[in-house]
Amino acid sequence: MPNSSKAVLISLNRSQIKPHQGYCYVYDLPVHAPSGDSEHGSYSSAAILFENGVALGPPHVPHDIIRGQGGGRFSHWNSQLYFSTSDNTKPHLNRRDYHLYIPAVMDSDPEWSLINRVRTEPQGVPLQDRFDVARRAFRRIWGNVPLPDHGRRIDHDDEFAQEFARLSPESDVTAERKFNLNQLFRLAYSVVGDVAECGTYKGASAFFLARHIQQAALNKKLLLFDSFEGLSQPESIDQSYWKEGDLTSHCNDVWNALAPLGPTSFFELYKGWIPTRFAEVADRCFCFVHIDVDLYRPTLDSIAFFYPRMSPRGVILLDDYGFASCPGVTQAVNEFMAGKPEPIINLASGGAFLVREEK
């Protein structure tokens, strides 16, 4: 019997993930891993499966349901993990990181009794105690990375949460960045100029920008630039996280995202590789520009075009700045902004922004 007195964190090796049936994949766990559910205890395992740091679930799901529905469902069964990805892509090919965290058993880890109570009766445990448990569990997996505090406005903004869930049903990892975009745009209300987005993807950010323009009756156009063919060929500075064709979307995704706003005449869609269509708007000035193109070259082309066309107090929001997955973005921005007066303001959620000074 493996020693289960200590918590175990297992990083899934992509080459060892085996297709099972349907959306289900199987992973043989190492011998030191505690045994999971079985015929004698269908809820014995307390394992938590993470995809790029986001918990999947529900757990303890029958394998035929995992095969047929997927959606992040999983089962830690005996010495194997049966699981599906959040969006039913292939886990050995989608280049995401998967970790299985198995807490120490209850009788050998006093903290587990509280963790188990939070899992089964969350409303019976005070909020602060629940948060402290979540923070300790988070630290076990991510080391000294801090867990954001509880009681924040974003946690109680139901309208934002509902719209974000509609716009990003596959993943919640960009929620804080979308919330920041939604808030930062308010700085541009009284600034002269139009609004632009480089890298629209499926239109989630465009929706929040368009809603501001509509609800505040702003005299501004929203210009959306995207290839709708995914990413271009990464350069060496971009390293290996992204590949050509990643993040492919369709114009219809944008129309669907904006549909709840009804008929709109203030946005313009420019389909094509950046920067081929920029020349068509070279005579305009801008109050807010969102750059979210993940790679070095299109980031450099975007900021080089829009920076000199920003109105004083205009905001450039850089979605990918500072992320390890987008080293080319950080280098492009740092290169272009070197010697310029505006500081690059890093955001705790990832990304950064700058405010254009008087020319």
pLDDT at 148: 87
Query: How many other C-beta atoms are found inside a 10 Å radius of the C-beta of residue 294?
Result: 24
- 8 Å CB contact between 294 and 324: no
pLDDT at 132: 82
Helix extents (H) in the chain: 63-69, 110-120, 127-142, 158-167, 175-184, 204-215, 251-258, 296-306, 327-337
DSSP character string of 103-149: PPPGGG-HHHHHHHHHHH-GGGS-HHHHHHHHHHHHHHHHTTPPPPP
Residue 1 predicted with pLDDT over 70 = no
Residue 269 predicted with pLDDT over 60 = yes
Higher-pLDDT residue of 134, 99: 99
User: Crossing angle of helices 204-215/158-167, nearest 10°?
Assistant: 130
DSSP character string of 143-189: TTPPPPPSS-GGGG-HHHHHHHHHH-TT--TTHHHHHHHHHHGGGGT
Average pLDDT over residues 201-218: 97
Count of CA atoms in the C-beta half-sphere (13 A) of 77 = 15
Strand partners, 51: 54, 98
Angle at 132 between CA 131 and CA 137, to 5 degrees: 95
pLDDT tens, 276-331? 999 999 999 999 999 999 999 999 999 999 999 999 999 999 999 999 999 999 99
pLDDT at 111: 58
Average pLDDT over residues 214-235: 97
* pTM for the model: 0.73
Pairing between strand 286-291 and 194-198? parallel
Question: 3-state class of 273 per DSSP?
Answer: coil
CATH code for 153-355? 3.40.50.150
pLDDT at 247: 93
What is the 3-state composition of the chain as percent helix, strand, coil, each rounded to the nearest 5?
A: 35, 20, 45
For the record, the structure tokens of 96 come out as 């995401």
For the record, the structure tokens of 58 come out as 């529900």
Q: How confident is the model at residue 113 (pLDDT cuts 50, 70, 90)?
A: low
Count of CA atoms in the C-beta half-sphere (13 A) of 340 = 19
pLDDT at 110: 53
Average pLDDT over residues 217-236: 97
Residue 163 predicted with pLDDT over 70 = yes
pLDDT tens, 169-190? 877 889 999 999 999 999 999 9
Pairing between strand 80-83 and 74-77? antiparallel
pLDDT at 116: 65
User: Crossing angle of helices 175-184/204-215, nearest 10°?
Assistant: 30
Residue 106 predicted with pLDDT over 60 = no
pLDDT tens, 55-87? 898 899 999 999 999 999 999 999 999 999 999
pLDDT at 71: 93
Distances (CA, A) of 354 to 179, 210, 284, 323, 344: 17, 21, 19, 17, 5
pLDDT at 135: 80
Rounded CA-CA distance 42/34 in Å is 14
Angle at 253 between CA 325 and CA 55, to 5 degrees: 45
Rounded CA-CA distance 133/118 in Å is 8
Higher-pLDDT residue of 199, 168: 199
Instruction: Give percent of the chain with pLDDT exceeding 70.
Output: 92
pLDDT at 139: 74
pLDDT at 115: 66
Tell me the pLDDT of the chain averaged across its residues.
91
pLDDT at 3: 43
pLDDT at 175: 94
Rounded CA-CA distance 328/96 in Å is 19
DSSP assignment, residue 38?
A: B
Question: 3-state class of 30 per DSSP?
Answer: coil
Instruction: Give percent of the chain with pLDDT exceeding 90.
Output: 73
- 8 Å CB contact between 242 and 199: no
- What residue segments make up the domains of the chain, in order of their start? 8-108, 153-355
Q: How confident is the model at residue 96 (pLDDT cuts 50, 70, 90)?
A: very high
Residue 109 predicted with pLDDT over 60 = no
Q: How confident is the model at residue 230 (pLDDT cuts 50, 70, 90)?
A: very high
